[in-house]
Structure 1
Amino acid sequence: MRKSYRIKKEKEFQAVFDRHDSVANKAFVLYQLHKPGQKHFRVGLSVSKKIAHTAVLRNQVKRYLRQSLLELQPELPSEIDFLVIARKPATKLNMAETKKNLRHLLKLGKML
Structure 2
Amino acid sequence: MSEDAERLLAGLTCRITAQDAAGRWAIGNWFFDPLTRPGWLSSGGEDRSEKQLHGYRYHWTLQRNGSPYVEDVAASLTASPASVSGAIAPNAGSHFEVSLGNTTLRLDRRRAPAQQESEVTR
**TM-score when scaled to structure 1?**
0.32
**TM-score when scaled to structure 2?**
0.30
Higher helix share: 1
Larger CA Rg, structure 1 vs 2: 2
